[in-house]
Amino acid sequence: MCATAVTGRRSAGWVWGGGPIPGGIDKFFAEAGEPAQRRELPPQSEAPPDVDRLIEIGKRHGILMQPMPGA
């Protein structure tokens, strides 16, 4: 079992996954992310993340996502 804190300007949370690292979390990030267009950080998006999509992708990879208390 592993837990990773994820924080940002608009959200905060924990990513939990079963099994040894990477334990499939690499596959979650590959499916949920977007390929980089260049070898630099992209500008920050003005659109909020599609949380429902991330929750569904997480379920497919054994990751449970829940809102943090008070969020």
Give the pLDDT score at 1.
44
pTM value is 0.60
Q: What is the mean pLDDT of each run of 10 residues along the chain (71 residues)?
A: 49 54 75 89 88 90 79 59
In one letter, which amino acid is 11? Answer: S
22: cis peptide before it, omega within 30°? yes
DSSP 61: T
